[in-house]
Amino acid sequence: MSFPHHRPRRLRTTPALRRLTAEHRLSPAELVLPAFIREGLSSPHPISSMPGVVQHSAESLKRAAAEAVELGVGGIMLFGVPKHRDATGSAAVDPDGVLNRAIVDVRSEVGDDLVIMSDVCLDEFTDHGHCGVLSEDGTVDNDATLAVYAEMAVAQANAGAHVLGPSGMMDGQVAVIRQALEEAGHQETAVLAYAAKYASAFYGPFREAVDSQLQGDRRTYQMDAANRREALLEVELDLEEGADMVMVKPAMSYLDILADVAAHSPVPVGAYQISGEYAMIEAAAANGWIDRRRAIEESVLGIKRAGANIILTYWAAELAGWLKE
Ligand code: PBG
C-alpha cells in the first residue's frame, strides 16, 4: 500500500481541524469521582499525598456530590473511613456505619442525578487492613470473606447505592454479591466488578486516604503485574458470575490490559486512575516539571483511547469543569 500524496500533517494545521478529526474526546458523563468520607469529621481533612483531595465530612461530601451533578459528572464512588476497626470489619455491615450513612446522605442529596457507587471491600474497616477476614494462620480466608461481602453489599443497596464495586479480589465475590442482592429484593442494583485489579505500588497514597492499617501487601489476592492473559480469565469469571460492568485497575501502567479487556468485554469497561497516578502528576506539576492541565488531560485521554467507557479519576470534577469551558 502506498499513499504518495498523503500528508498526515494537513489535518493538524489548525485547532479546528484537529478538533474535527479527533478520534476520541472526553466528556464529563463518563467520569466518576472517587470520594472519601471519614467518620466524626466536622470539616474536610486534607490528604497530604494527594494534594487537592480530602477526607470529607458528611456535609462536605454532600456538597461535592451536588457539585458533581452541576458539572455533569457521571458518578461518584464512595469509600468510608470508620472510627473503630475490628478483625471482621463489622462497621462495614452496620447500617449506621460511616459508609452506609454516607450513601443514604448522598442519595438524598442527588437522587438519581448521579450514579452512586460504593466500595465493597473490608480493608478500610479491618484492624489488620486486609481486604478480607483472616484465618488462624493469618492468611486471608476467601470464603469467610464472601459471607461478609454479601452482607455488606445488601447494606449498601439498602442505603441506596445504584452500583456496588467489589474491589477485594476474592474468588467468587461477584456471584455471592449478586445472589445476596437478588435474595434481598435488590434486582436493580448493579455490580461494577473490579475484575482485573493488580497488586500495585501506586496505591500508596490511598493508604493514607483511608488511614490503612495494612502491614505487608495484598499479593495473595490481587493480580501479579507480570500477568496479561490472566486478566481475561478474571473478566470471564466475573461476567459468568453476573457482573454488569468490569474494571481494570490501576489504569496507566495497565493500558495493555485495558485494551485487551475492552476488545473482549460485552459489558461496559471501567478503568481506575488511582491515587499514585494522581500523586505523580500533581507532584511533578507542583515542581514545575510538567504542565499540569495538559498532563491530566493527556493521561485521561490515554485511558479512554485504550478502551475505557467509564473512568474513575480524582480529577473528575475539575476535568468536567474544563470540558464545559
Ligand atoms: C481496596 C481499594 C484500594 C483502592 C481502591 N479500593 C486499595 C488497595 O487495594 O490497596 C485504591 C485506590 C487508589 O489507590 O486510588 N478497598
Residues 101-160 have pLDDT tens digits of: 999 999 999 999 999 999 999 999 999 999 999 999 999 999 999 999 999 999 999 999
Spatial contact of 66 and 56, defined as CB atoms under 8 Å apart: no
CA of 88 to the centre of ligand 1 (A): 18
Respond yes or no: is residue 324 known to be catalytic. Answer: no
Could you tell me the distance, in angstroms and rounded to a whole number, from the CA of residue 14 to the centre of ligand 1?
A: 41
* Residue of 37, 49, 76, 206 with the most ligand 1 atoms within 8 Å of its CB, for mutation: 206
Q: Which domains does the chain have, with CATH numbers?
A: 26-323 (3.20.20.70)
Amino acid at 123: D
* Pairwise CA distance, residues 163 & 180, whole Å: 14
Contact 18, 12 (CB under 8 A): yes
Of 62, 249, 304, 324, catalytic? 249
Average pLDDT over residues 59-69: 98
Q: Residues 234-287: pLDDT tens digits? A: 999 999 999 999 999 999 999 999 999 999 999 999 999 999 999 999 999 999
Q: How far is ligand 1, taken at its centre, from the CA of residue 194, in Å? A: 10
Query: Measuring from atom 12 of ligand 1, which residue has the nearest CA?
Result: 274
Q: pTM of this prediction?
A: 0.97
Atom 6 (ligand 1) nearest CA = 167
At 224 the pLDDT is: 98
Q: Tell me phi and psi for residue 38, to 5 degrees.
A: -110, 130
Q: According to the model, what pLDDT value does residue 4 have?
A: 79
The pLDDT tens digits for 87-110 are 999 999 999 999 999 999 999 999
* Atom 7, ligand 1: residue with shortest CA distance: 203
Give the end-to-end CA distance of the chain in Å, rounded to a whole number.
42
Mean pLDDT of all residues in the chain? 97
Residues with CB under 6 A from ligand 1: 119, 121, 123, 131, 167, 203, 206, 218, 274-275
User: Cα(62)–Cα(237) distance, rounded to whole angstroms?
Assistant: 36
With the most atoms of ligand 1 within 8 angstroms of its CB, the residue from 50, 167, 277 to mutate is: 167
Closest Cα to atom 9, ligand 1: which residue? 203
Residue to probe by mutation, ligand 1, list 50, 121, 170, 213, most atoms within 8 Å of CB: 121
pLDDT of residue 6: 87
pLDDT greater than 90 at residue 5: no
Please name the residue whose Cα sits nearest to atom 10 of ligand 1: 203
What is the arithmetic mean of pLDDT over 24-36? 98
pLDDT at 255: 98
Read off the C-alpha cell for 132: 478480607
Look at residue 325 in the predicted model and tell me its pLDDT. Answer: 85
Instruction: Give the integer Cα–Cα distance in Å for 166 and 275.
Output: 18
| 135 neighbors 163 (Cβ within 8 angstroms) | no
